Amino acid sequence: MGLPPKLWFQLERLKKALLSTFGTSKQNYDTSHRMCSNCRALVERGASVCPFCGEKLGSARARSSPGVPGRILGVIPIPSTATSVVVAVNIALYAISWYMTASSASAQLNPMSAMGGISGEVLLRLGAKSPYILVGQWWRLVTAIFLHAGLLHIGLNLWCLFDLGPEVESLFSTTKFVVFYLVSGVAGFLLSFWWSPYGMSVGASGAILGMIGVLIGASFHHGHLGKEYRGQLWRWVIYIAIFGLFFAVDNAAHLGGLATGALLGYLVPEGEAETRAGQNLWNLLAVLSIVIIAGSFALMALQLGQPLR
């Protein structure tokens, strides 16, 4: 007796995520089928009615040519849409912070860092996690997620995000990824602020550890295959923890993001929501997350020209 279509699809998707993450996949994507929005079963791409539940299906969306996802220089997988936007925002803010640092250094006749280091004052002005949260600048818990202190810092974080972001989007959905990324990043900086309220820190690593946590949490629902996948993910965590012992990183933010992500990955069902109400709820949460991010940067911009007190 074969597996139920929904269970088979979930196992195949997790297997694909595992193989893709560690670069071992040699299979092409199957573009001849799509998923029923009601029962989550795989059906023929051109079908108008699901043969499993009788749900009426809309027109199939256009697909790109079949094949494995492209990789930059044959190594870095090209991320899916939401991940691409997050990466672009990180790069844009790093470029802005570098320009501000260079302008300040030039005005003061100081040399620039050879590794693209960003000055602490610039990071403070652009929204780093700092004691200013104590005077009501809560938005720093959000803006700090998108700031980086140097080329090595942003390079390592974006490398991890390129790999992990598409896996979370594929396994859960784009809307859930947006919510997970913001919630785990903010949770990381909340723990960091509780642990060290007078310290300053920036970076996407709390949110990225959150993505690892999400995949770890989800793996508990997939038996032996999930256990193997979880073992690989824990290696990422161990490597990052070892790195944190030798470099000045915000370990509290890492821990907060990881724990929050693991809880979300375990509790939140994978894939798109199974009901229209559920889909509307996640769409609303994703839009709310984007509004919070945009609003936080707007509040940062309003105080950009004011003196730091």
Query: Catalytic residue at 37?
Result: no
Of residues 119, 130, 205, 289, which has the active-site annotation?
Answer: 205
Query: CA-CA distance, 193 to 201, in Å (whole number)?
Result: 9
Compute the C-alpha angle 159/99/153, nearest 5°: 25
SS3 32: coil
β-partners of residue 76 are 72
Q: Which two tokens stand for residue 48?
A: 């108008």
SS3 63: coil
Please enumerate in sequence order all residues whose Cβ is within 8 A of that of 217, keeping only pairs 6 or more positions apart, or say none: 261, 262, 263, 264, 265, 266, 267
| 179: nearest Cα among 143, 214, 147 | 214
| 176: nearest Cα among 269, 244, 259 | 269
Count Cβ atoms within 10 A of the Cβ of residue 254 and give its class: 0-12 exposed, 13-18 middle, 19 or more buried: buried
Please enumerate in sequence order all residues whose Cβ is within 8 A of that of 112, keeping only pairs 6 or more positions apart, or say none: 101, 102, 105
Query: Catalytic residue at 254?
Result: yes
Of residues 148, 222, 254, 289, which has the active-site annotation?
Answer: 254
| 119: nearest Cα among 196, 87, 128 | 128
The residues assigned a catalytic role are 205, 254
